Amino acid sequence: MPHIKMARKSTDTDMTPFVDIAFLILSFFIMATKFKPAEPVKVETPNSVSSKMLKEENAVLITIDPLSKVYLNISSPNDKDKLGVIIEGLNKSRNLGLTAAEMASFKTTPIIGVPFAGLKQLLNLPLSQQEKVVQPGIPVLDTLNNELVWWIDEAKKAFAGGKLNYLIKGDNESKYPTFEAVINAMRRN
């Protein structure tokens, strides 16, 4: 019986369509990805066993850096007017003497880490320069002059009737008395 020979086919495959599809998918993911914004204060948190991620919307984020300086970020992405209510309340209660332009600048400031005495100078700077300023931190260790109490009080008033989340993010190297002062400031409200 004769044996039928199969015709040999070339093993060469045109890879051009595969490369096109790969770059199309890659470019889609690059354009669709929302990158995490740069943090104004670098904090290395201690190892934790908690896996629950907390929402950072409608939140007061208190950050403690390695030098135990305290910074404040009030997040209200859906309602920027609440930030205006907070700064207006502080301006009135603490007699800061802020202008309307400075209060408008507060709404775009990413993080606050200055005492009330330096707030006016910080808000006078353009946003690009505010990010470069080395901020001394909000005073919290002095029990008579814990300025964080005033910030938390005004945030509480601005978010009255709504849910406000309190988040504390501390560095692994920061000192315990600073954490204790932050907790005491929250208890006083």
pLDDT for 2-22, tens place per residue?
Answer: 778 777 777 777 888 899 999
Which spans in 33-99 are helix H? 81-94
Mean pLDDT, rounded, for 139-158 = 88
Q: What tens digit of pLDDT does each residue of 113-143 get?
A: 999 999 999 999 998 888 888 899 999 988 7
Residue reference for tokens 């495959």? 13
Residue 60: name the closest of 189, 174, 175, 172 by CA.
Answer: 189
| Domain range annotation of the chain | 59-187
Structure confidence at residue 49 (pLDDT): 55
Structure confidence at residue 70 (pLDDT): 93
Is residue 73 within 8 Å of residue 112, measured between CB atoms?
yes
Lowest mean pLDDT segment, chosen from 16-25, 34-43, 66-75, 77-86? 34-43
Question: 27 pLDDT exceeds 90?
Answer: yes
CA distances in angstroms from 159 to 55, 88, 122, listed in the order given: 16, 14, 25
* Two tokens, residue 96: 């800061």
Confidence label for 41 from pLDDT (cuts 50, 70 and 90): confident
Q: How far apart are CA 137 and CA 1, in angstroms?
A: 94
